[in-house]
């Protein structure tokens, strides 16, 4: 088994196509097919299934796909560690960061800009996905860090609270913009929410259960763009944080109202896999992300968010400041 075969397998499964993977890898399709055939022969298992809709993994292929991602990530980490042993003051290597969609809307672009400015030697990979999928990727070491909707540690995870987000009733109704609305009043209106076990759905369901309130849920939708579109077109109202409204829908304006009786909130935390190696590059990426979040809240860009007290009072780690960015004391 060769590393290139694992890279080929990952690319084919990711693209769902031999031809697309061939173009991405710059490897001729017959050579790509032959390498996968050699891998299947060695393992004595079919790894891929071809159909009119494309290529999909078998159970064995999916297991190898997951292990291959872990193996290649460890190899990249090993390369990074060797470079850092030689250049102790440099921050180099790849760091993969998972962001839920609503958080990515607020954080992704300024995070990439800040990382490029401060740590050009770090190759940042942003993965946008549902929070449950990001947890699986963290535990399987397929990503290094993730922002999650939780405040307490879980098995295999280290959790660092960042902030608490307030949830709002969002609709196309301009005339009631900014006016508080109760959960009982929301129950009288058509509502679209994410499906179970989405973290925001769990917050809403728990509040309803505690107050014996039954909502008029017309659809479960696990897509942020779709939720915004549903609200903007007046099909139904939705419950979202302000961070989810940072982008335009293209369907019309959105108007939010604070939810009271009860006030609904969700926690956000920076998470990493317990026991996973933490390179200097990973530590720097963590530091930039936490202080970006802090800055966005403190300057008022991240509306409806309250910083965790520990982050609010935290000072930057000077050891994670790039050498070129550090102030040099002038003799005087």
Residue percentage of the chain with pLDDT more than 90:
53
Q: What number of helices (H) and strands (E) belong to the chain?
A: 11, 13
120 — phi, psi (to 5°)?
-65, -15
Q: How do 122-128 and 145-148 pair as beta strands?
A: unpaired
Q: What is residue 327's predicted lDDT score, i.e. its pLDDT?
A: 47
Kindly tell me the burial class for residue 137, based on how many C-beta atoms sit within 10 Å of its own C-beta (0-12, 13-18, 19 or more): buried
Please give the Cα distance from 182 to 169 (Å, whole number).
9
Instruction: Name the pTM for this structure.
Output: 0.70
Q: What is residue 248's predicted lDDT score, i.e. its pLDDT?
A: 66
Report whether 170 contacts 255 (CB < 8 A): yes
Structure-token match 């999909």, residue found: 56
pLDDT of residue 332 exceeding 50: no
Q: What is residue 199's predicted lDDT score, i.e. its pLDDT?
A: 85
Report whether 237 contacts 170 (CB < 8 A): yes
Under the banding of pLDDT at 50, 70 and 90, the label for residue 1 is confident
What is the three-class DSSP state of 50? strand
- 12-41 tens-digit pLDDT: 898 888 888 888 888 898 998 999 999 999
- 271-300 tens-digit pLDDT: 998 877 788 889 999 999 999 999 999 999
Domains in the chain, CATH or no CATH each = 3-67 (1.10.10.10), 70-162+267-315 (3.40.190.10), 164-266 (3.40.190.290)
69 closest CA partner among 156, 10, 23: 10
Q: What is residue 291's predicted lDDT score, i.e. its pLDDT?
A: 96
Q: How do 54-57 and 48-51 pair as beta strands?
A: antiparallel
Q: What is residue 183's predicted lDDT score, i.e. its pLDDT?
A: 96
286 closest CA partner among 159, 109, 199: 159
Structure tokens that stand for 46 in this block: 């079919």
What's the Cα-to-Cα distance from 26 to each of 20, 22, 30, 125, rounded to whole Å? 10, 6, 12, 21
Under the banding of pLDDT at 50, 70 and 90, the label for residue 87 is very low
Q: What is residue 269's predicted lDDT score, i.e. its pLDDT?
A: 96
Structure tokens that stand for 110 in this block: 């300024």
Under the banding of pLDDT at 50, 70 and 90, the label for residue 304 is very high
pLDDT of residue 254 exceeding 70: yes
- Which residues, listed in sequence order, are joined to residue 99 by a DSSP beta bridge? 128
Taking only Cα atoms into account, the Rg of the chain, rounded to an integer number of angstroms, comes to 23
């Amino acid at each position: 088994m060769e590393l290139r075969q694992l890279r080929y397998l990952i690319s084919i499964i990711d693209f769902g196509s031999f031809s697309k993977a061939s173009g991405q890898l710059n490897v001729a399709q017959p050579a790509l097919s032959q390498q996968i055939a050699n891998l299947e022969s060695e393992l004595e298992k079919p790894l891929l299934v071809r159909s009119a809709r494309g290529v999909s993994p078998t159970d064995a292929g999916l297991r190898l796909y997951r292990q291959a991602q872990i193996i290649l990530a460890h190899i990249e980490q090993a390369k990074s560690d060797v470079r850092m042993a030689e250049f102790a003051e440099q921050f180099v290597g790849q760091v993969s960061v998972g962001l839920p969609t609503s958080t990515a809307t607020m954080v992704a672009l300024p995070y990439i800009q800040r990382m490029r400015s401060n740590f050009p030697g770090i190759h940042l990979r942003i993965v946008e996905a549902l929070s449950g999928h990001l947890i699986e990727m963290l535990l399987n070491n397929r990503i290094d860090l993730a922002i999650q909707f939780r405040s307490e540690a879980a098995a295999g995870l280290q959790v660092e609270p960042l902030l608490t987000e307030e949830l709002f009733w969002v609709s196309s109704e301009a005339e009631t913009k900014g006016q508080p609305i109760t959960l009982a009043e929301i129950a009288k209106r058509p509502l679209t929410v994410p499906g179970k076990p989405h973290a925001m759905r769990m917050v809403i369901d728990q509040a309803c259960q505690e107050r014996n309130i039954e909502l008029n849920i017309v659809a479960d939708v696990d897509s942020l763009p779709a939720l915004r579109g549903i609200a903007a077109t007046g099909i139904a109202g939705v419950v979202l944080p302000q961070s989810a409204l940072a982008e335009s829908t293209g369907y019309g304006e959105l108007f939010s109202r604070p939810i009271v009786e009860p006030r609904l909130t969700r926690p956000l935390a920076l998470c990493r896999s317990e026991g996973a190696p933490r390179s200097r590059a990973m530590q720097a990426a963590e530091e930039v992300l936490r202080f970006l979040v802090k800055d966005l809240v403190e300057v008022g860009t991240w509306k409806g968010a309250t910083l965790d007290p520990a982050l609010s009072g935290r000072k930057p780690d000077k050891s994670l400041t790039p050498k070129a960015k550090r102030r040099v004391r002038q003799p005087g």
